[in-house]
Chain A
Amino acid sequence: MGGIEETVPINDEYDIVTARSQGKSTAASIGFGLVDQTRISTAISELARNILRYADSGVVYIREVASEGATGVEIVAEDHGPGIADLELAMTNGHTTGGGLGAGLPGTKRLMDEFEIDTEVGRGTIVTARKWV
């Protein structure tokens, strides 16, 4: 398994800046090129913003992962907010309940290689996204 693991608590908007710059430097040290670093830090920024917007607080984990000889980065965005009632709708471009663009989740999915959402109404949401070098 990989070595790098960063934990960024998300409690206010400054933490979004911290998370995305941490993501960029972690992606760089794992070996991603500049365009992928930008994709990864943008994805982190969106996930961190969702935490703040919908759940008030949560945590973003950024870690190095390895599988079958490939190296990558895994982002886990975890909150104990309201959860997502209609996941299919949340993954639809243009749909928003939080005053955003409605491009957040589908857009973030497009920037990453793997994308999973585990959510339960009243319990919270865990978004896991991976990208391979």
Chain B
Amino acid sequence: MQETYEKIPVLKIGDFLITSIQVALHDRLALSLQDDILNKIQETNAKGLIIDVTTIDVLDSFITRVLVEIAKMANIMGVKTVLVGLQPAIAITLVEFGMELTGMHTSLNLEKGLEMLKELVKENEV
């Protein structure tokens, strides 16, 4: 299947890494994103990570767990994570289902997420 070759770009801007998930996430793609982000953190000495999920229309328990684990692993490497752009319907479903986004911060959109991340990184350095 051609999807096997899909890759989600992880971009570096200043001290931050930004990744925007714009394809239907299947399990392997989610796990390869996890690897890519952690490698990129090491390569770039990034201090903050933004994961943009604006275009994601379903978050099931597996994908949610992968996102939570990415944030936990990034945190161990000294990087703060902000998840941005969670759709209202997904927020409702996550809470009703009983899934929790522990260990990461969330923000309404990319702009607010960047502001939040700057603050978090500043606190982290004190």
Contacts and interface: CB of A to CB of B under 8 A. Distances in A.
A125 interface: no
Nearest to A13: B27
Interface residues of B, number: 24
Interface in B1-57: 1, 3, 24-28, 57
A107 B65 CA distance: 14
Interface string B69-95: 000000000000000000111101100
B98 to A, nearest CB: 5
B97 A110 contact: yes
A56 B55 CA distance: 30
A103 B26 contact: no
B24 A49 contact: no
Contact of B58 (A14, A24, A106, A107): A24
B30 to A, nearest CB: 10
A38 to B, nearest CB: 4
Given A103-B99, A110-B98, A41 B58 contact: yes
B88 A107 contact: no
Interface string A104-128: 1011101100000000000000000
B61 A39 contact: no
**Interface range for A:** 20 to 34
A106 B58 CA distance: 18
A37 B90 CA distance: 10
Contacts of B27: 13, 16
B102 to A, nearest CB: 12
B1 A14 contact: yes
Given A13-B28, A101-B65, 10 more contacts: A13-B27, A14-B26, A20-B60, A21-B24, A35-B89, A38-B58, A38-B89, A39-B92, A39-B96, A42-B60
Interface of B: 1, 3, 24-28, 57-62, 65, 87-90, 92-93, 96-99
Interface of A: 13-14, 16-17, 20-21, 24, 34-35, 37-39, 41-42, 45-46, 49, 93, 100-101, 103-104, 106-108, 110-111
Give the 9 A-B residue pairs with the shortest CB-CB distance, closest first: A45-B60, A38-B89, A107-B97, A13-B27, A35-B89, A41-B58, A103-B98, A17-B24, A101-B61
